[in-house]
Structure formats: structure tokens, C-alpha cells
Structure 1
Amino acid sequence: MTPTKAGNSGKVAQERAASRAAAQPVLLSGGNPQIPKGYGDGPVQAYIAAMPGWKREVGRKLNALIEQAVPGVAKAVKWNSPFYGLDDQGWFLSYHCYTKYVKVAFFRGSFLRPMPPGESKQENVRYLDIHEGDPIDEAQFLDWVRQASLLPGEKM
């Protein structure tokens, strides 16, 4: 039996809706986007585009500042978080969305001066938490990123 024209348009509409749903990343607990692992700017841009609400602008700002501080920085998405590093040195920074803030992780943050304010259970990791409406001290962030890029990174 041949489907009717109305049946075809209904099926096409369902396929389009399914395609749009598939294109929308799933938000994990805390609103962190679930983005497939990948290397380069593309996956990082997909992560930033999927960051919910005000966090998207924070992601754009962080990405731009990191690129400014370290031209040619290597990028990847791993474990549903963007990573930044240098090809020959490893990863020095990552960030992740939580319900009420974006957490920036400096993997060798205990060596940065001044140290980022957030402590970690891991000896060398330090965090910077950015809440909605928090101003980003661009000069300090750029300095931390430059310092972090000069330290041995994490091989992950």
C-alpha cells in the first residue's frame, strides 16, 4: 500500500523534528553540554554554542582570552569539557558548566602567582569559579593563562 500525501508530510515533519532534536546537545547535570570527544576548534565551538544561558557568553569570553594569551593554542573536548594546551606540552586549562557557575581548572594552578582562588583535592590544581554577573578580571586571567602555558601540561 502506498502512503498518502498527508502521511508523507507527517513522516517528513517527524524526521525533521528528530533531526533537530539530534542536533541539540544533551545537557548533563548542572547544565553541562554533552559534546562528543574531538580535537580542534570545532568541538570547542560546539561546546560553547551549547552552553546554557549566560554561561555561553562566559565560554566565548574565556575562549577569546585564551586565544589572545596563547596564539595557536591546541583545543579539544574531552569528558564533556573544553581543554586548552600546547601540542608538545600537554593540557594546561579546562572549564566545565555547573548549575550556578562555570569552573575554570588550571592543572598546574598551584604554581601560578598569584594562585587562582579555588582549592582542589588535587595538589597542583587550582580553580576559578565564575558566577552569573561576575566580572572577569581580564588582565589577571590573561596572566594566569600565559603562566600556565609555560608550565608542563597534563598528558590526558
Structure 2
Amino acid sequence: MGEAPKLLSGGNPQIPKGYGDGPVQAYISAMPGWKSAVGRRIDALVVRTVPGVQKAVKWNSPFWGMEKDSWFLSLHCYDKYIKVAFFRGARLEPVPPEPSKSGDTRYVHIREDQPLDETQFADWVRQASELPGEKM
């Protein structure tokens, strides 16, 4: 096996851009500490909630969407939390808690001592997958 991916600032894994499940799983495996298990749970929730979901890694972050280059969800590792971006989050009910400076995007911050509300998260994923994706 090759070397483990380099961790960038905040402990975010440096994963080459790529489409499909492989690059996303490489990112999740390289997430440091407790974050990797949460990354696996997020991916499993998305796959279970949105059959046929598309996946990619771009800009050292995994993305999930309904069609190539049109995304509804991404995540990024920081030192103390995982930042999950819902690109049309302002249109979700209830609106995810963390504001953004960019358009409709809203965030959920997942911390080690604050477990993920999987029921609410899956509902946000379902709603987000039904909205037009963010082209990138």
C-alpha cells in the first residue's frame, strides 16, 4: 500500500480529485480520529437515503449529488469538528443551524461530544436530494 494521505490544516485529508465511491472512501478512511467513523455513518446515511447517489472528491472534500458535477452535500474536516455543507440548506425544513456567507448554503457542525441526529440528518439529505444541485 502507498503512504497515508497527507493531512492539511485542520486535519483535512488531501485526496486527489476523482469521481465515484473510491475517492470518497479514501477520504473517509483518512479522516483523523473519531471523524472517520462519523464520515462512514454520513456516507451510509446518504447512500441509504438516496439510492444511486453520485460521489466525488474535489478540493479535498467529498461531495454527494444526483448527477455528475451537481451536488447537494459536502463535508470538510476541521480540528474540532466536521463541517457538513448543504448547498441548498436555506430551503430545508428545519433550516440547518449554521449560516453561510454564500447563497443558500447552510452548515451542520458535528463535534465528537455531540452525536449526529441521524433521523434529522437523513431527512435533510432526502430534502436536499430533491432540490436542484449546486453546479461545481
TM-score under structure 2 length normalisation? 0.96
Q: Does 1:120 align with 2:86?
A: no
**1:140 maps onto 2:112 in alignment:** no
1:32–1:96 CA contact under 8 A, matched in 2: yes
User: Could you tell me whether the CA contact under 8 Å between 1:89 and 1:152 is conserved in 2?
Assistant: no
**1:79 matched residue in structure 2:** 59
1:27-38 paired onto structure 2 within 5 Å: 27-38=7-18
Identity score, percent:
68
Which secondary structure state, in structure 2, belongs to the residue aligned with residue 77 of structure 1?
A: strand
Greater strand content? 2
| Change over 3 Å in CA distance of 1:49–1:88 after alignment to 2 | closer
Kindly indicate which of the two structures has a greater share of residues assigned to helix.
1
The answer to whether the 8 A contact 2:83-2:107 is kept is yes
**What SS does the corresponding residue of 1:52 show, helix, strand or coil?**
coil
Residues 120-146 of structure 1, C-alpha deviations (whole Å, 9 max, x = no match): 011200000001121111110000000
Aligned-pair CA distance for 1:89:
8.1
The whole-number CA distance in structure 1 between the counterparts of 2:135 and 2:69 is 8
CA contact (8 A) 2:55 2:63 kept: yes
Q: Which amino acid aligns with 2:86?
A: F
Residues 54 and 68 in structure 2, CA contact (< 8 A), matched pair in contact too: no
Partner of 1:55: 35
The structure with more radius of gyration: 1
Name the counterpart of 1:12: none
Q: 2:48 aligns with which of 56, 59, 68?
A: 68
Show structure 1 runs of 5+ residues with no match: 1-19
Quote the offset at 1:76 in angstroms. Answer: 0.1
Gaps of 5+ in 2: none
Report the number of matched residues. Answer: 136
Deviations along 1:18-72, one digit per CA (max 9) or x if unpaired, are xx6x521000000000000000000000000000000001100100001111011
The alignment's C-alpha RMSD in Å is 1.2
